[in-house]
Amino acid sequence: MRTLLRTPILALSVMLAFTACSTAQQPASTATPFGTLSAVTTDLGDGLYTVSAGGYRTVFLVGDNGVLVGDPISTPIAKQFLSEIRKVTSKPLLYVVYSHNHWDHVLGGQVFKDEGAEIWSHEACLPHFYRNSHPDLVLPDRSYEQKQVLDVGNAKAELLYHGPNHSDCSTHLYFPAQKIVHIVDTVQPYAVSGAGGRMNDSYPKQFVASLQKLEDEVPFERMVPGHGGPIAPRDAVTNRREYQQGLLDAVKAEIDKGTPFGEIPGAVSLPQFKDLLGYDQYLAANAQRILIYYTIGW
Amino acid sequence: MTRRILVALGVFFLASHASAQSLDLFTKTTTEVAPGVYSYGAFSARSLFVVTSDGVITTDPVSAKNAADMRAAIAEVTDQPVKYVVYSHQHWDHVLGGQIFKDEGATFISHEKCIPHFARHPNDELVMPDQTVTGDHDLTLGDKTLKLMYFGHNHGDCMLVMQVDGTDVLYINDLVTPYSVGLGFMPDYDPGEWLRTLLELEARDDWTQFIGGHGIPVAPKDAMVQRRRYMEALMAAVRDGIESGQRLEELYDTIELAEEFREMRGYKTHIRRGAERIYHYYTMGW
């Protein structure tokens, strides 16, 4: 039986990579490399907002009947998010939507649950939550399989599942009125995968198919990420998909060429993506993950 | 491509295991570890086969080449046909190349949780299982029973531990490579559940030696105890680091375990990545 760590985690894993390089995305007053420590809310129009704190970002949608909110992140950050929501509306919290299963995004849901919210996730998150429980993790009340529309009163969010990518239970949270999709960790705009890219529980090949499906089926124009700046153009998704496919192709080419196994990660080069955040630092680590995929089928 | 990958993986293992002990990676041998129970393979990959009064049960074919070699090795000890192939788990470096056994009519078995992996990652060289088991299952053929045991999510989520009933030998595939730290960073590992699995196996008094999926033909129980203690030491070191405020990069650069673990094969190559995997386990819950 494992003993759980209670240490508060500020900003982890995926974005840990970008401590040196993502400040360019942020306003000059930014307190951390990935965002502000204190909460900052951005109005995206028609009742949709994005709020960032402690290096993490979520969204909330205000309708006639109440509010839908994304990841709580952690108990202290959820409290900050709640006070930001309360600056905009006093309506009840109706829904929380977990983006995926990783603790660094989904802890602290009790803060929203206490306001009456019902918690949703994709159904494939449930086995992860059962196996790796955490005292600050509130299990979802409801789950869905392919698509779920949640209506907060003249404002809708679509919970869309496009298959495994960064995890096997990622929800793409789409707001049709705004044509904005909230994508957490699968796409960090114009960045490679961070430290987690080496061995994250990602699905290297389905990753491409998942983003392709999103691009094919959803007429989004912009995206809100789970870290960093508030909004990025649709092209950020295409760019990330093409980087992933480039990695797959480059590693496969080295294998076919007979490059010694241990030398493959260092041999991969994708000059067309050299301007992505973290390219120099993490390209080899990203290639390592792809190499494992080609070797054991995982 | 598969064969090249397997050779490459073997070389990677060799590079990773720069210890004083010499290793023969590719010379395959057959070792009878109990009456009618054989450990077959080399360091690069190792399988179990069992000769019964009514045919042969074999485990992982590994690759078409390995399966052909293993078929020849089986023919050296018996004229019996191969009736069953049991996959230890879903990873390609163990389960490809079974067609030669399919062609002689063998029935393929895996844990049911392997099926979604096989469906999601199709491979032309993979023979899909004909039957699945959901938990512990006795596979009886002739005068022998191969016990298939499921311990949950450890090295992936569909690993079967096997034991011929009445013998003191376990086949545990990648749960432990004897005297090696193993590739501790694989994405589908669950470190906590893996540790639990090893502790449950150790607590059983019906075995004294085991066959791993790589490495020497058969190893004493002590080799499992060593690996379990290594995992505990690694997890404790990472926990201590996190609790003292170390970030991933610092842990990655400074992790060091006690001397007894530094002598294990692969330590220098894999300790940092192993620490990174444990870091994510403790901080992200997977």
Domain membership of residue A194 (yes or no) is yes
User: What mean pLDDT, rounded, does chain A reach?
Assistant: 87
Closest CA to B161 of B102, B117, B224, B98: B224
Domain membership of residue A278 (yes or no) is no
Domain membership of residue A186 (yes or no) is yes
Give tens-digit pLDDT for B176-207: 999 999 776 676 788 999 999 999 999 999 99
Domain membership of residue B81 (yes or no) is yes
CATH code of the domain containing B216: 3.60.15.10
Quick check: A255 and B8 CB within 8 A? yes
B15: contact with A, CB 8 A cutoff: yes
Give tens-digit pLDDT for A8-44: 343 343 343 343 333 333 333 334 445 556 899 999 9
B280: contact with A, CB 8 A cutoff: yes
A86 backbone dihedrals φ, ψ, rounded to 5°: -70, -20
Nearest-by-CA chain B residue for A167: B286
Res B185: pLDDT: 67
ipTM of the complex: 0.75
State pTM to two decimals. Answer: 0.83
Domain total for chain B? 1
Residue A155 tokens read as 């404002």
Domain membership of residue A61 (yes or no) is yes
Which residue would you say has higher pLDDT here, A295 or A274?
A: A274
Select from B12, B276, B283 the Cβ nearest to the Cβ of A9.
Answer: B283
- Chain A residues whose beta carbon lies within 8 Å of the beta carbon of residue B283: 5, 9, 12-13, 103-104
Select from B12, B15, B284 the Cβ nearest to the Cβ of A12.
Answer: B284
Domain membership of residue B173 (yes or no) is yes
Domain membership of residue A239 (yes or no) is no
Domain membership of residue A122 (yes or no) is yes
Mean pLDDT of A241-262: 95
Domain membership of residue B263 (yes or no) is no
Give tens-digit pLDDT for A177-215: 999 999 999 999 999 987 555 555 678 889 999 999 999
Mean pLDDT for back-to-back runs of 10 residues, chain B (286 residues): 50 44 75 98 94 98 97 98 98 96 98 94 94 97 98 94 98 96 76 95 98 95 97 96 91 92 92 89 85
Res A193: pLDDT: 85
Domain membership of residue B236 (yes or no) is no
Could you list the residue range(s) of the whole structural domain that residue B124 is in? 2-220
**Per-residue pLDDT band at A105 (split at 50, 70, 90):** very high
Q: What percent of chain B has pLDDT over 90?
A: 78
- Chain A residues whose beta carbon lies within 8 Å of the beta carbon of residue B273: 198-199
Which residue would you say has higher pLDDT here, B284 or A84?
A: A84
Mean pLDDT of A59-69: 98
A139: contact with B, CB 8 A cutoff: no
A32: contact with B, CB 8 A cutoff: no
Give A296 to chain B, closest Cα distance, Å: 4
Domain membership of residue B121 (yes or no) is yes
β-strand partners of A175: A180
d(CA B282, CA B286): 8
Could you list the residue range(s) of the whole structural domain that residue A215 is in? 13-198+205-234
Give tens-digit pLDDT for B121-162: 889 999 999 999 999 999 999 999 999 999 999 999 999 999
Domain membership of residue B22 (yes or no) is yes
Domain membership of residue B231 (yes or no) is no
Domain membership of residue A112 (yes or no) is yes
Domain total for chain A? 1
B12: contact with A, CB 8 A cutoff: yes
Say how many Å lie between the first and final Cα of chain B, rounded: 31
DSSP secondary structure of B137-191: EEEEETTEEEEEEE--SBBBS--EEEEETT-SEEEEETT--TTB---TT-TTB-H
Q: How many residues appear in chain A?
A: 298
Give tens-digit pLDDT for A141-184: 999 999 999 999 999 999 999 999 999 999 999 999 999 999 99
Domain membership of residue B39 (yes or no) is yes
Domain membership of residue A101 (yes or no) is yes
